[in-house]
Chain A
Amino acid sequence: MAAAANGEAILETVGLTKRFGGLVAVDTVDLAVWPNRITAIIGPNGAGKTTIFNMLSGVLRPTGGTIRFGKRRIDGAPAYVIARLGIARTFQNVQLFEGMSVLENVMIGRHTRTRAGMMAAALGLPGVAREDRTARGACMEALAFVGLAERANDDAVSLPFGQQRLAEVARALVAEPRLVLLDEPAAGLNTHERTGLAAMVSALPERGITPLLVDHDMDLVMDISHDVAVLNHGRKIAEGPPRQVQSDPRVIEAYLGEEVATC
């Protein structure tokens, strides 16, 4: 990865591996993500990109290798601990909470920045309502940032798919993470929505949030990323700035190979 003059990597994996029985989904992958730069992991379907995300966010346990967030090892840590440390994520198939409004979904994103527990809530202690009011303010801001402020009280799963994605992004951002993992954020969006998303993600570094994108689609990645890593069959086959990666013959072969296979 471009060892930019940013000092230490915000996230680093060494030899990251995931095996499902006999299948090696991720094969000794070394990654580095630099703060306040936009990093993307690309690769054909089944390359292991979401599996890596699942390991980074604590949803899956790595079979081998290490993951460091700042100075701290996080491989094998429970997902909620990793979230508390400052990593937020969105999901490829959008996991908004059903039976709750858009605002309530985003309020859950604020969980790590609030404290009131169950007993305090049951007893109706005054601090609880106050904390909720403050949280609501931050959540409405996040919704405004992604352009969903008017939809705050609508049922979350009733939103069109593209807006559901944006709601999930707002939910991730409101946690004020240092690193946000965006899993195929552009999938299912139309051109107009894609442009909006690109602008939004590009604006994150100046807010102190480092985005790590996974995408199947080259276009978005080329437009906004600073650093790109390419995976194929679970292995990293190339890395570098977008232009360089795009013209790398191994990368072209990996994607072309897939196109031929699907004919």
Chain B
Amino acid sequence: MARKRTTHIALAGFGVLLLVAPLVVRQPYYQSIMVVIGINALAVAGLNLLMGYAGQVSLGHAAFLGIGGYASAILTVNHGINPWLAILAGVAVTCVVAWIIGVPTLRLHGHYLAIATLGFGIIVNIVFVEWRGLTGGQSGIAGLPELRLAGIALDSHLRLYLLVWGCVYLATIATANIQHSRAGRALRAISSSEIAAQTAGINTGRYKVQVFVLSAALAAVAGSMRVHYMSFANPEPFGFAYSIELVVMAVLGGSGNVWGPVVGAGAITLLTEVLQPLGKMVRPSGAELHVPAFGLILVLMLIFLPRGVTTSLALLTQRLRGARRAG
């Protein structure tokens, strides 16, 4: 199928781009931005499956990054466990939590579902802050060991970049695989008409929970990467603000498109970097200029480009191709 070949070529191109980028971009500051974009893209990849394909919503996704991140921090720093095992444990715990929350919550729809996920995110963040014995409270946990792969410490921006983007690459392939499969069709059907999906024999409840858990697992990995990158885990980055940022990235990037997460994460992360010095100019104590900017972006996207950048581009090229054939 022509569509499949295009995807394969695009994926190959993407792979090449990922390998070449750090050779072109040498300054550590910019390399660190690329790492952060990668971490965000990984988290948004999961959110994309949940929101973009299955049509659900999660306004508390930072919680899953936090659970994965804190699991890594607690197990490696306080118990000396191998960091890779800690990451796996973090994913496992996150999946269990996501399953427990998902089963009752995903029976809700629309605003109710949004509020429920919002509440969940806030509760988890409060746990991070208040359960000082476990998480170190606001001070967090410091001194995470480096990840080591085959004896090599992943302690430079470049090495972490490769790890993180390697994960993003795998997540992108997985999304491309799911997209046109029986499961992918089931998710898209659920998004369009849950009743018709059910009468076609799709156990919509189970599918929704499954994709929710998968999206949480990807978030957990991203969270672990983040705490190892910072050598530090604290509650602040795993709060409501970050949950909203992730949603903005997902919406901007494009719903139901494998490239949405990368585009959305890239755009918003870069925008944040640009706006921060501008914010300091407005008010030196640190006006959070990016927050109202995100709000504005979200509103404008939903009005003018509700399907996001990549999906709208894809539709446009489809239409142009159709017009050329007809004309």
Contacts and interface: CB of A to CB of B under 8 A. Distances in A.
Given A98-B192, A104-B185, A78 B200 contact: no
Interface in B111-154: none
A111 B192 contact: no
A118 B210 contact: yes
A66 interface: no
Interface stretch (A13-21, A81-89, A142-150, A235-243): A81-89
Interface in B207-266: 207, 210-211, 214, 256
A99 B189 CA distance: 9
Contacts of B181: 116, 121, 128, 132
B183 A108 contact: no
B188 A79 contact: no
Count class of interface residues, chain A: 35 or more
A82 B195 CA distance: 13
Nearest to A111: B201
Given A114-B182, A117-B183, A95 B196 contact: yes
Nearest to A124: B177
Given A79-B199, A88-B199, A116 B183 contact: yes
A128 B177 CA distance: 10
Nearest to A112: B201
Contacts of B203: 78, 80
B211 A79 contact: no
A100 B199 contact: no
Interface string B178-208: 1001111110110111011111111110010
Contacts of A95: 193, 195-196
Contact of B182 (A57, A82, A116, A123): A116
B198 A80 contact: yes
A121 B183 contact: yes
B177 A123 contact: yes
A31 interface: no
A121 B182 contact: yes
Contact of B178 (A58, A80, A91, A122): A122
Interface in A197-216: none
A132 B181 CA distance: 7
B173 interface: yes
Contacts of A78: 198, 203
B200 A171 contact: yes
A83 B178 contact: no
A135 B174 CA distance: 21
Contact of A97 (B175, B188, B199, B207): B188
Given A99-B256, A121-B177, A122-B174, A83 B198 contact: yes
A175 B201 contact: yes
Contact of B201 (A80, A98, A107, A124): A80
Interface in A63-117: 78-80, 82-84, 88-89, 91, 95-100, 104, 107-109, 111-112, 114, 116-117
A203 B94 CA distance: 53
Given A95-B193, A95-B196, A118 B183 contact: yes
Nearest to A89: B199
Contact of A59 (B184, B191, B198): B198
Nearest to A87: B199
A171 B197 CA distance: 11
Contacts of B207: 118
Interface in A118-139: 118, 121-124, 128, 131-132, 135
9 contacts: A88-B199, A99-B192, A100-B189, A111-B200, A114-B182, A122-B174, A123-B177, A124-B177, A135-B182
Interface of A: 57-59, 78-80, 82-84, 88-89, 91, 95-100, 104, 107-109, 111-112, 114, 116-118, 121-124, 128, 131-132, 135, 171, 175
The 9 lowest CB-CB distance pairs between A and B, nearest first, are A121-B181, A83-B201, A112-B201, A95-B196, A79-B198, A118-B183, A122-B174, A97-B192, A124-B177
Given A59-B199, A80-B198, A122-B177, 4 more contacts: A84-B201, A99-B256, A118-B211, A132-B182
